[in-house]
Amino acid sequence: MSEIFLGMPATAPRGVGNLRGDEPFPVAARRSLADAQLRRNLGHATATIRAKSAAVIDEVPDWQELREAGRAIKTDVMARLPELLAQLEVAVTAAGGTVHWAADAVEANRIVTDLVRATGSDRVMKVKSMATQEIGLNEALEAAGIEAVETDLAELIVQLGRDKPSHILVPAIHRNRAEIREIFLREMPGVDPALTDEPAILAAAARRHLRRTFLSTRVAVSGANFAVAETGTLAVVESEGNGRMCLTLPDTLITVMGIEKLVPTWADLEVFLQLLPRASTGERMNPYTSMWTGVTPGDGPQEFHLVLLDNGRSAVLADEVGRQALHCIRCSACLNVCPVYERTGGHAYGSVYPGPIGAVLSPQLTGVEDNASLPYASSLCGACFDACPVMIDIPSILVHLRAQHTAAYRSDHRLPSAEAVTMAAAAYTMDHRPLYEAAQRAARASRFVGRRGGGLPPPLSGWTIGRDLPQPPPQTFREWWAQR
């Protein structure tokens, strides 16, 4: 394969998919924060998953070594991604599958739509997949007259409620069981009107509803947790068995996979299949791990298509600091430990990738200016870095993207922002001792705004919505030191 430099890789296109929100994070967050039910649901759910996950991680004596191994494997994959992808294509093709390359969401949606049309089916069943949420596949299929049925329980709740997912692993985390019961009663055809909000009863209702779909739908669409370049094997891990149904029952299986999901060899799965369930659901092992390699005559789908999706990933790969975001295995541990996510929920992030990983992944996939508020949606507390099973240094990427944003603003505007002017002035002042000392004396004048700081202009007024200002001391430390 010859390589020609075609310029910087493209970011994910606008107008398609679900990587961009309608409003900046602080605005959306303000609304979520006021929703007391949402706060309770999230607080309870994240605390429960955190405790469960911490307990099973504690059982693994070599957890840190496993994390290191996960990081090392993913670093290697990113370093030779083109070669490994080509190897995967050869292996999948040799096993009877067909590989399609999609540069972006538009191409991927078109490829999948055409493939479904070719089968003559007007319905597909889906395994929970972040990649297809990212590209807005359900919307694209609907526009083509094809119904997409989500079979993961939480995705089904979201779909029936005409809602949006708010968590990578548990997309209906913002709903409690009473709300889920209401959605089922309202939206599920033929549901028992005596439905209670017992989890087992709700799950049984979904089961009955989905069973008809499993047995009558001839095409399935899935994502993939891993693809083994060496063997051409795809893997999906899940808890409910709906995935196993979708991956084995239909005639045609179409898998949409981000190009970063690769591992080089079969043996590498050993590391990730230990890391993922413990970090993700807090289970020692996920209940279902389905693996398939191309097509097996007389067993399972007889037609298999793999759609390899870029949609901005090559642009992420081009960034030396940011590329480690591609190591993500979508476990959502960073969401569960994030104090910001726990209070705002996922919708505030606008993108299908919420929480800390979303705050570094979404702006990179779309270009930072299309998600400029997300890198700032973090107090840089570092809990995400500690929780990440593949050791993605999320705080450092956030800081890196903030610098990218200020640089982009500078080159896009004739005048610097008020913040940039303030920052430059502060740096200049602090780099000149007499000015710095004069500024310290001036800070004392803030005594006049009073402890509650009512007279402060924005953005400083944000401080005083819930906090008093500290009273400046009569003497700075250096004044005291000079008089000693």
Partner 1 sequence: MRIALFVTCLADTMFPEAAKATVRLLERLGHEVVFPQDQTCCGQMHINTGYPDDALRLVRRHVRAFAPYDVVVAPSGSCVGSVRHQHAMVARGAGDERLASRAEEVARRTYELSELLVDVLGVTDVGAFYTHRVTYQPTCHSLRMIRVGDKPLRLLRQVRGLDLVELPQAEQCCGFGGTFAVKNADTSTAMLADKMRHVLSTRADVCTAGDASCLMHIGGGLSRLRVGVRTVHLAEILASTEPTGDPAERARTGGVTA
Residues that bind partner 1 (CB under 8 A): 25-26, 29-30, 33, 39, 339-340, 343-344, 375-383, 385-386, 396, 399, 402-406, 419-420, 423-424, 426-428, 430-431, 433, 436, 440, 443, 451-452, 459-460, 462-463, 465-470, 472-473, 475-478, 480-481
Does 459 sit behind a cis peptide bond, omega within 30 degrees of 0 on the bond before it?
yes
Packed helices 36-58 and 269-280: angle between N→C axes, nearest 10 degrees: 140
| HSE-up of residue 123 (Cα within 13 Å, Cβ side) | 13
Smaller CB distance to partner 1: residue 30 or 413? 30
Smaller CB distance to partner 1: residue 287 or 472? 472
The CB-of-452 to partner 1 minimum distance in angstroms stands at: 7
- Cβ neighbour number for residue 442 with a 10 Å cutoff: 11
The secondary structure of 310-329 as a DSSP string is: -TTHHHHHT-TTGGGGGG--
Q: Which residues contact 244 (CB under 8 A, 6 or more apart)?
A: 238, 288, 290
**Nearest CA among 134, 157, 421, 144 for reference residue 260:** 134
Smaller CB distance to partner 1: residue 29 or 111? 29
Q: Which residues contact 235 (CB under 8 A, 6 or more apart)?
A: 224, 225, 226, 227, 228, 269, 289, 290, 291
Phi, psi of 409 (to 5 degrees): -60, -45
Smaller CB distance to partner 1: residue 190 or 474? 474
Query: Quick check: 221 and 129 in contact, CB under 8 A?
Result: yes
Residue in the structure block whose two tokens are 């610098």: 403
Smaller CB distance to partner 1: residue 249 or 377? 377
The CB-of-1 to partner 1 minimum distance in angstroms stands at: 34
Residue in the structure block whose two tokens are 């299949």: 273
The CB-of-479 to partner 1 minimum distance in angstroms stands at: 8
The CB-of-163 to partner 1 minimum distance in angstroms stands at: 22
The CB-of-367 to partner 1 minimum distance in angstroms stands at: 16
Smaller CB distance to partner 1: residue 55 or 430? 430
Smaller CB distance to partner 1: residue 5 or 477? 477
127: left (phi > 0), else alpha (psi -120 to 50), else beta?
beta
The CB-of-456 to partner 1 minimum distance in angstroms stands at: 10
Query: Quick check: 159 and 151 in contact, CB under 8 A?
Result: no
Taking the alpha carbons at both ends of the chain, their separation in whole angstroms is 74
Residue in the structure block whose two tokens are 């910001």: 340
Smaller CB distance to partner 1: residue 290 or 378? 378
Compute CA 43 distance to the chain's CA centroid, rounded to the nearest angstrom.
19
Smaller CB distance to partner 1: residue 207 or 402? 402
Q: The sheet that has 233-238: what strands, in order across it?
A: 262-263, 226-228, 233-238, 288-293
The sign one gets for the Cα dihedral 362, 152, 301, 229 is positive
Smaller CB distance to partner 1: residue 143 or 426? 426
The CB-of-38 to partner 1 minimum distance in angstroms stands at: 12
Residue in the structure block whose two tokens are 């001839």: 218
The CB-of-440 to partner 1 minimum distance in angstroms stands at: 5
The CB-of-451 to partner 1 minimum distance in angstroms stands at: 7
Packed helices 153-160 and 177-187: angle between N→C axes, nearest 10 degrees: 60
The CB-of-68 to partner 1 minimum distance in angstroms stands at: 17
Smaller CB distance to partner 1: residue 152 or 393? 393
**Cα separation of 261 and 278, whole Å?**
19
Residue in the structure block whose two tokens are 């239909």: 250
Secondary structure string (H, E, C) spanning 114-134? HHHHHHCCCEEEECCCHHHHH
Structure tokens at 319: 């960034």
The CB-of-425 to partner 1 minimum distance in angstroms stands at: 9
Smaller CB distance to partner 1: residue 255 or 336? 336
CA geometry: angle at 194 spanning 190 and 199, to 5°? 95
The CB-of-54 to partner 1 minimum distance in angstroms stands at: 11
